[in-house]
Amino acid sequence: MVNYSLKVDVDTHDGMRDGVPRLLDAFGRFGVKATFFLAFGPDNSGKAIWNLFRRKGFLKKMLRTGAPKLYGWRTALSGTLLPARLIAAKFPDLVKRISHEGHEVGVHAWDHRLWQDHLDRLARAQIEEQFARAFECFEKTLGRRPGAVAAPAWYATATSLQVQDGLGLQYASDIRGGEFGYPELDGYRSTTLQLPTTQPCLEELLTLGRKDLDACAEEVLATPPDAPFAVIPLHAEVEGGVFEPFLEKLLRGITARGGRVQTLKEEAAGILRAAEPPPRIQVGARPISGRAGRVIMAVPRS
Ligand SMILES: [Zn+2]
Protein backbone atom coordinates (compact mmCIF):
# COMPACT_ATOMS: atom_id res chain seq x y z
CA MET A 1 0.00 0.00 0.00
CA VAL A 2 1.30 3.39 -0.91
CA ASN A 3 0.98 6.59 1.08
CA TYR A 4 0.13 9.40 -1.29
CA SER A 5 0.55 13.09 -0.56
CA LEU A 6 -1.18 15.78 -2.60
CA LYS A 7 1.09 18.82 -3.02
CA VAL A 8 -0.93 21.76 -4.31
CA ASP A 9 0.99 24.77 -5.58
CA VAL A 10 -0.93 28.02 -5.88
CA ASP A 11 0.89 30.21 -8.39
CA THR A 12 -1.67 32.75 -9.61
CA HIS A 13 -4.39 35.16 -8.44
CA ASP A 14 -7.12 33.28 -10.34
CA GLY A 15 -5.78 29.93 -9.13
CA MET A 16 -6.20 31.17 -5.57
CA ARG A 17 -9.60 32.81 -6.07
CA ASP A 18 -11.26 30.14 -8.25
CA GLY A 19 -9.09 27.01 -8.13
CA VAL A 20 -8.57 26.67 -4.37
CA PRO A 21 -12.32 26.57 -3.48
CA ARG A 22 -12.90 23.89 -6.15
CA LEU A 23 -10.00 21.83 -4.84
CA LEU A 24 -11.25 22.18 -1.26
CA ASP A 25 -14.71 20.99 -2.33
CA ALA A 26 -13.24 17.97 -4.16
CA PHE A 27 -10.94 17.06 -1.24
CA GLY A 28 -13.94 17.37 1.09
CA ARG A 29 -16.01 14.98 -1.05
CA PHE A 30 -13.24 12.38 -0.91
CA GLY A 31 -12.36 13.06 2.74
CA VAL A 32 -8.66 13.66 2.02
CA LYS A 33 -6.26 16.24 3.45
CA ALA A 34 -3.75 17.95 1.15
CA THR A 35 -0.74 20.24 1.52
CA PHE A 36 -1.11 23.71 -0.03
CA PHE A 37 1.93 25.84 -0.84
CA LEU A 38 0.85 29.42 -1.48
CA ALA A 39 2.47 32.22 -3.43
CA PHE A 40 1.49 35.29 -1.40
CA GLY A 41 2.83 38.19 -3.44
CA PRO A 42 2.31 39.70 -6.91
CA ASP A 43 1.00 37.56 -9.75
CA ASN A 44 3.60 38.28 -12.41
CA SER A 45 2.80 35.11 -14.33
CA GLY A 46 2.37 37.11 -17.52
CA LYS A 47 6.12 37.71 -17.44
CA ALA A 48 6.81 34.00 -17.05
CA ILE A 49 4.46 33.17 -19.90
CA TRP A 50 6.15 35.75 -22.16
CA ASN A 51 9.53 34.27 -21.23
CA LEU A 52 8.27 30.85 -22.27
CA PHE A 53 7.03 32.29 -25.56
CA ARG A 54 10.53 33.55 -26.26
CA ARG A 55 11.99 30.04 -25.90
CA LYS A 56 12.38 28.34 -29.25
CA GLY A 57 9.72 25.73 -29.91
CA PHE A 58 7.97 26.31 -26.64
CA LEU A 59 5.08 28.29 -28.09
CA LYS A 60 3.93 25.23 -30.03
CA LYS A 61 4.20 23.06 -26.92
CA MET A 62 2.38 25.64 -24.83
CA LEU A 63 -0.47 25.80 -27.30
CA ARG A 64 -0.63 22.02 -27.34
CA THR A 65 -1.19 22.03 -23.57
CA GLY A 66 -3.91 24.64 -24.07
CA ALA A 67 -2.10 27.13 -21.82
CA PRO A 68 -4.20 30.16 -22.81
CA LYS A 69 -7.33 28.16 -22.00
CA LEU A 70 -5.70 26.92 -18.79
CA TYR A 71 -4.60 30.25 -17.45
CA GLY A 72 -6.91 32.74 -19.17
CA TRP A 73 -5.82 35.97 -20.82
CA ARG A 74 -5.96 38.09 -17.63
CA THR A 75 -3.30 35.86 -16.07
CA ALA A 76 -1.28 35.71 -19.29
CA LEU A 77 -1.02 39.52 -19.23
CA SER A 78 -0.64 39.90 -15.45
CA GLY A 79 2.48 41.88 -14.58
CA THR A 80 3.03 42.84 -18.22
CA LEU A 81 0.29 44.86 -19.93
CA LEU A 82 -1.95 44.66 -16.86
CA PRO A 83 -0.86 45.31 -13.26
CA ALA A 84 0.16 42.38 -11.07
CA ARG A 85 -2.51 41.39 -8.51
CA LEU A 86 -1.57 39.91 -5.14
CA ILE A 87 -2.18 36.17 -4.80
CA ALA A 88 -2.77 34.64 -1.32
CA ALA A 89 -2.17 38.00 0.40
CA LYS A 90 -5.42 39.20 -1.18
CA PHE A 91 -7.52 36.28 0.15
CA PRO A 92 -6.90 35.90 3.92
CA ASP A 93 -10.31 34.26 4.48
CA LEU A 94 -9.55 31.63 1.88
CA VAL A 95 -6.14 30.95 3.44
CA LYS A 96 -7.94 30.45 6.77
CA ARG A 97 -10.53 28.19 5.13
CA ILE A 98 -7.75 25.89 3.83
CA SER A 99 -6.36 25.59 7.33
CA HIS A 100 -9.77 25.26 9.08
CA GLU A 101 -10.70 22.37 6.80
CA GLY A 102 -7.70 20.47 8.14
CA HIS A 103 -5.26 20.90 5.26
CA GLU A 104 -1.65 21.85 5.69
CA VAL A 105 -0.58 25.34 4.55
CA GLY A 106 3.01 26.21 3.64
CA VAL A 107 4.84 28.95 1.77
CA HIS A 108 5.51 28.65 -1.96
CA ALA A 109 6.83 32.15 -2.64
CA TRP A 110 6.42 35.88 -2.34
CA ASP A 111 7.09 36.68 -6.02
CA HIS A 112 6.92 33.32 -7.82
CA ARG A 113 8.09 34.73 -11.13
CA LEU A 114 11.09 36.53 -9.64
CA TRP A 115 12.27 33.28 -8.00
CA GLN A 116 11.59 31.15 -11.05
CA ASP A 117 13.40 33.42 -13.51
CA HIS A 118 16.08 35.16 -11.46
CA LEU A 119 16.98 33.11 -8.39
CA ASP A 120 20.54 32.56 -9.66
CA ARG A 121 21.06 36.32 -9.74
CA LEU A 122 19.40 37.21 -6.41
CA ALA A 123 21.66 38.30 -3.57
CA ARG A 124 21.27 36.52 -0.25
CA ALA A 125 19.51 39.58 1.22
CA GLN A 126 16.96 39.52 -1.61
CA ILE A 127 16.24 35.82 -1.02
CA GLU A 128 15.81 36.55 2.68
CA GLU A 129 13.39 39.34 1.79
CA GLN A 130 11.31 37.00 -0.40
CA PHE A 131 10.86 34.61 2.54
CA ALA A 132 10.35 37.43 5.06
CA ARG A 133 7.49 39.00 3.09
CA ALA A 134 5.70 35.68 2.55
CA PHE A 135 6.24 34.59 6.17
CA GLU A 136 4.92 37.91 7.50
CA CYS A 137 1.76 37.53 5.46
CA PHE A 138 1.34 33.88 6.52
CA GLU A 139 1.77 34.76 10.21
CA LYS A 140 -0.58 37.73 10.02
CA THR A 141 -3.27 35.50 8.52
CA LEU A 142 -2.87 32.24 10.46
CA GLY A 143 -1.24 33.45 13.68
CA ARG A 144 1.67 31.02 13.52
CA ARG A 145 4.97 30.56 11.69
CA PRO A 146 4.97 28.34 8.60
CA GLY A 147 6.57 24.92 9.11
CA ALA A 148 7.36 24.20 5.48
CA VAL A 149 8.25 25.79 2.16
CA ALA A 150 8.28 24.53 -1.43
CA ALA A 151 10.40 26.35 -4.00
CA PRO A 152 8.76 27.73 -7.15
CA ALA A 153 9.43 25.57 -10.22
CA TRP A 154 11.40 23.10 -8.05
CA TYR A 155 14.40 25.39 -8.28
CA ALA A 156 16.85 26.19 -5.50
CA THR A 157 20.47 27.25 -5.09
CA ALA A 158 23.06 26.64 -2.40
CA THR A 159 22.28 30.16 -1.12
CA SER A 160 18.51 29.63 -1.03
CA LEU A 161 18.97 26.34 0.86
CA GLN A 162 21.27 28.12 3.31
CA VAL A 163 18.67 30.85 3.91
CA GLN A 164 15.98 28.18 4.40
CA ASP A 165 18.12 26.38 6.97
CA GLY A 166 17.87 29.49 9.13
CA LEU A 167 14.05 29.50 9.09
CA GLY A 168 13.48 26.67 11.58
CA LEU A 169 11.37 24.60 9.18
CA GLN A 170 10.14 21.05 9.78
CA TYR A 171 10.91 20.22 6.15
CA ALA A 172 11.09 21.68 2.62
CA SER A 173 9.76 20.29 -0.64
CA ASP A 174 11.96 21.88 -3.29
CA ILE A 175 13.18 18.96 -5.34
CA ARG A 176 12.04 16.31 -7.81
CA GLY A 177 12.76 12.59 -7.71
CA GLY A 178 12.37 9.60 -5.49
CA GLU A 179 14.59 10.10 -2.46
CA PHE A 180 13.97 12.06 0.72
CA GLY A 181 16.89 13.27 2.80
CA TYR A 182 19.25 16.14 3.52
CA PRO A 183 20.42 17.61 0.20
CA GLU A 184 23.92 18.62 -0.76
CA LEU A 185 23.91 21.21 -3.57
CA ASP A 186 27.05 22.77 -5.06
CA GLY A 187 29.04 21.87 -1.95
CA TYR A 188 26.46 23.18 0.52
CA ARG A 189 25.07 20.61 2.98
CA SER A 190 21.56 21.58 3.96
CA THR A 191 20.18 20.71 7.40
CA THR A 192 16.51 20.86 6.35
CA LEU A 193 14.81 17.58 5.43
CA GLN A 194 13.68 17.54 1.80
CA LEU A 195 10.55 15.67 0.74
CA PRO A 196 10.74 15.47 -3.06
CA THR A 197 7.86 15.58 -5.51
CA THR A 198 8.05 12.03 -6.80
CA GLN A 199 5.33 11.97 -9.49
CA PRO A 200 4.96 13.91 -12.79
CA CYS A 201 2.63 16.91 -13.27
CA LEU A 202 -0.33 16.72 -15.62
CA GLU A 203 1.03 19.72 -17.61
CA GLU A 204 4.28 17.86 -18.20
CA LEU A 205 2.45 14.80 -19.52
CA LEU A 206 0.31 17.00 -21.80
CA THR A 207 3.42 18.82 -23.04
CA LEU A 208 4.89 15.41 -23.88
CA GLY A 209 1.86 14.79 -26.09
CA ARG A 210 -0.27 12.52 -23.87
CA LYS A 211 -3.94 12.89 -24.72
CA ASP A 212 -5.93 10.41 -22.68
CA LEU A 213 -6.61 11.67 -19.16
CA ASP A 214 -7.29 8.16 -17.79
CA ALA A 215 -3.83 7.06 -18.97
CA CYS A 216 -2.32 10.27 -17.47
CA ALA A 217 -3.94 9.47 -14.12
CA GLU A 218 -2.51 5.93 -14.23
CA GLU A 219 0.92 7.38 -14.99
CA VAL A 220 0.71 9.87 -12.10
CA LEU A 221 -0.42 7.15 -9.67
CA ALA A 222 2.15 4.54 -10.76
CA THR A 223 4.95 4.03 -8.22
CA PRO A 224 7.83 1.57 -7.95
CA PRO A 225 6.80 -1.38 -5.71
CA ASP A 226 9.22 -0.36 -2.93
CA ALA A 227 8.38 3.37 -2.96
CA PRO A 228 7.91 4.56 0.64
CA PHE A 229 5.46 7.26 -0.45
CA ALA A 230 4.37 9.19 -3.52
CA VAL A 231 4.04 12.97 -3.71
CA ILE A 232 1.62 14.07 -6.44
CA PRO A 233 2.02 17.66 -7.70
CA LEU A 234 -1.20 19.58 -8.36
CA HIS A 235 -1.70 23.18 -9.43
CA ALA A 236 -4.68 25.26 -8.33
CA GLU A 237 -4.80 26.73 -11.84
CA VAL A 238 -4.90 23.30 -13.48
CA GLU A 239 -6.69 20.64 -11.41
CA GLY A 240 -8.73 23.40 -9.75
CA GLY A 241 -9.55 24.77 -13.23
CA VAL A 242 -10.43 23.13 -16.52
CA PHE A 243 -8.74 19.88 -15.47
CA GLU A 244 -10.92 19.31 -12.41
CA PRO A 245 -12.20 16.00 -13.94
CA PHE A 246 -8.59 14.80 -13.90
CA LEU A 247 -8.43 15.41 -10.15
CA GLU A 248 -11.54 13.26 -9.70
CA LYS A 249 -9.83 10.47 -11.67
CA LEU A 250 -6.75 10.73 -9.44
CA LEU A 251 -8.74 10.67 -6.22
CA ARG A 252 -10.85 7.73 -7.40
CA GLY A 253 -7.64 5.96 -8.51
CA ILE A 254 -6.07 6.38 -5.08
CA THR A 255 -9.19 4.91 -3.44
CA ALA A 256 -9.23 2.00 -5.94
CA ARG A 257 -5.61 1.19 -5.09
CA GLY A 258 -6.33 1.23 -1.38
CA GLY A 259 -3.88 4.12 -1.05
CA ARG A 260 -3.80 6.35 2.00
CA VAL A 261 -3.56 10.12 1.68
CA GLN A 262 -1.35 11.96 4.17
CA THR A 263 -0.15 15.53 4.34
CA LEU A 264 3.56 16.14 3.75
CA LYS A 265 3.80 17.27 7.37
CA GLU A 266 2.64 13.78 8.46
CA GLU A 267 5.14 12.15 6.07
CA ALA A 268 7.93 14.34 7.48
CA ALA A 269 6.98 13.50 11.08
CA GLY A 270 7.09 9.77 10.25
CA ILE A 271 10.53 10.07 8.64
CA LEU A 272 11.94 12.11 11.53
CA ARG A 273 10.52 9.63 14.08
CA ALA A 274 12.13 6.60 12.39
CA ALA A 275 15.15 5.00 14.06
CA GLU A 276 17.25 5.44 10.92
CA PRO A 277 18.19 9.09 10.24
CA PRO A 278 17.32 10.41 6.75
CA PRO A 279 20.21 9.99 4.30
CA ARG A 280 22.26 12.75 2.69
CA ILE A 281 21.39 13.13 -0.99
CA GLN A 282 23.48 14.71 -3.72
CA VAL A 283 21.31 17.06 -5.81
CA GLY A 284 21.87 19.23 -8.87
CA ALA A 285 19.96 21.27 -11.47
CA ARG A 286 18.90 19.11 -14.42
CA PRO A 287 16.35 19.36 -17.23
CA ILE A 288 13.20 17.28 -16.81
CA SER A 289 11.00 16.09 -19.68
CA GLY A 290 7.93 18.19 -20.40
CA ARG A 291 9.19 21.29 -18.57
CA ALA A 292 11.21 24.35 -19.62
CA GLY A 293 14.29 25.08 -17.54
CA ARG A 294 16.00 22.91 -14.96
CA VAL A 295 14.79 21.51 -11.66
CA ILE A 296 16.72 20.33 -8.60
CA MET A 297 16.86 16.54 -8.42
CA ALA A 298 19.00 13.73 -7.04
CA VAL A 299 22.16 13.19 -9.12
CA PRO A 300 24.96 10.61 -8.87
CA ARG A 301 27.63 11.56 -6.34
CA SER A 302 30.64 13.14 -8.13
ZN1 LIG B 1 4.56 27.20 -8.49
Per residue in 149-181, pLDDT (tens digit) is 999 999 999 999 999 999 999 999 999 987 899
CA of 39 to the centre of ligand 1 (A): 7
Q: Distance (Å, rounded) from C-alpha 183 to C-alpha 205?
A: 27
CA of 152 to the centre of ligand 1 (A): 4
CA of 108 to the centre of ligand 1 (A): 7
Q: Distance (Å, rounded) from C-alpha 71 to C-alpha 88?
A: 17
Average pLDDT over residues 57-79: 64
Closest CA to 201 of 6, 64, 14, 58: 6
Beta carbons within 10 angstroms of residue 248's beta carbon: 16
CA of 10 to the centre of ligand 1 (A): 6
Beta bridge partners of 3: 229, 260
CA of 299 to the centre of ligand 1 (A): 23
CA of 164 to the centre of ligand 1 (A): 17
Question: What pLDDT band is residue 145 in, cutting at 50, 70 and 90?
Answer: very high
DSSP conformational letter for 167 = T
Calculate Rg over the CA atoms of the chain. Answer: 18
Question: From residue 278, how far is each of 50, 271, 272, 294 by CA, in Å?
Answer: 40, 7, 7, 25
CA of 261 to the centre of ligand 1 (A): 21
Closest CA to 172 of 278, 245, 78, 246: 278
Closest CA to 185 of 137, 133, 119: 119
Q: What is the value of pTM for the model shown?
A: 0.91
